[in-house]
Amino acid sequence: MKNLIIIINIFVILLATELFFKYVLDYRSISKVNTCKRIYDNERDFSFYTPNCKNIIKHWEQKKFVTYEINSKGRRDQPNQVPNQKKIAFIGDSFTFGAMVPIEDNYNFYAFKKILNSPYEIHNYGTPAEQLHNVLNKLKTLEYRSYDYIVYGITPNDFFDLVDGSYFSKTKDKDKTKKIIENKKNKIETFKSIKNYLLSTASSRFILHNLISNDKIYLKTYLSRKPYSGYLLKNLPEEWIKATNYLDESLKILDNNLKSKLKIFILPQRAEVVSNRLNSYNSTFINSLITICNKNNIDCSFPDLDSLSTIEESHFPVDGHLSIQGNHQVAKSLSEWVKNWN
């Protein structure tokens, strides 16, 4: 009887703890509306969203719902922009899309509409999960003559399927490709299963969030993610050199008229901000991108890491995307750069 009472007490305490984290501290993910679907165009090798759709979602690291509204053109633009002949296109992955933040707080709109109060009409072609080759293929389909500038918000994430070899093999040996892709899928599924299991309760989310919020624990964990963390090293690994060379070769063969309008804005991931804060940041990867831009006569810029490092949470600790404060700080760097555009 005594043991039963102890078991019941433990169960009640665990249940009360879970309910506290879930409903009082609000470590819940909730989807109110979810009508958007991301579609991969196999022939053109990039993704897009179904037009005229809407998602209203609260991720467990957020305290408020975020509306993701896709317009008739398949873009996540700020609604009610005043039409203007002067237009700028932003292209990239989920960082440019504005994952986890309201569209008005996304770095591109915040820079041009809040800081600069610019008349430019901003078109946001950012799409989550896009890799470098996807973005470059989408870039070639843009009606570039309609834009004064096209800004590619590039991240280290964009190089990942070049770094792990899945893209390079896809263009050569089909049997090898199948094995690599299958192996990659298995690893991703295993990682997702472990992650979903670890984050299946509000209590575990609270614990993980607070653990990963610690800079030293986070960076040590991130550096173990080889080969993906290789861009943080002083001497770039061979796979990262090969991946950056791919960018260089791709830019060389771009249409010169398109290239003349292209600008590259290098968006930092949390690992870069944290390593800078811990005085262990290596700029080799960023310098290699800037060198590639210079070789191809493309203007590029990288936000001020020192300013980002002063923000306690420039990125969502577990999710990894820029927070609202992080987006705003990146927007400040972007707006300063824009002032020097010809």
Tens of pLDDT along 116-148? Answer: 999 999 999 999 999 999 999 999 999 989 999
What is the pLDDT of the chain when averaged over all its residues? Answer: 90
Which pLDDT does position 287 carry in this prediction?
Answer: 97
* Amino acid 303: pLDDT: 95
CA atoms within 13 A on the CB side of 198: 12
Round to the nearest angstrom and report the end-to-end CA distance of the chain: 81
pLDDT of residue 267: 98
The verdict on residue 102 lying in a domain is yes
Provide the pLDDT confidence category of residue 174 given band limits of 50, 70 and 90.
Answer: low
Query: What phi and psi, each to the nearest 5 degrees, are found at residue 6?
Result: -65, -45
Q: Compute the distance between CA of residue 43 and CA of residue 267 in angstroms, rounded to an integer.
A: 28
CATH number at residue 222: 3.40.50.1110
Q: Is residue 40 part of a domain?
A: no
CA-based nearest residue to 97, from 148, 149, 134: 134
Please give the backbone phi and psi of residue 60, each rounded to the nearest 5 degrees, phi first. -65, -20
Give the model's pLDDT for residue 191.
Answer: 58
**CA of 105: how far to CAs of 20, 55, 150, in Å?**
30, 17, 20
What is the structure's pLDDT at 228?
94
In a domain, residue 285? The reply is: yes
Output 14 or 149, whichever has higher pLDDT. 149
Residue 149 lies in a domain: yes
Closest by CA to 101, choosing from 315, 337, 318, is 315
Q: Which is more confidently placed, 26 or 221?
A: 221
Query: Domain tally for the chain?
Result: 1
Residue 84 located in a structural domain: no
- Is 25 among the domain residues? no
Domain membership flag for residue 122: yes
Weakest-pLDDT range from 2-16, 71-85, 241-255: 2-16
Residue 286 domain-assigned? Answer: yes
**CA–CA gap between residue 187 and residue 201 (Å, rounded):** 23
Q: What is the Cα–Cα distance from 88 to 78, expressed in whole angstroms? A: 13
Non-local (6+) Cβ contacts of 192 within 8 A are none
Mind listing the pLDDT tens digit for each residue in 9-34?
Answer: 777 777 777 787 788 888 899 999 99
Instruction: Give the number of other CB atoms < 10 A from CB of residue 342.
Output: 4
Residue-number span of the structural domain to which 149 is assigned: 89-338
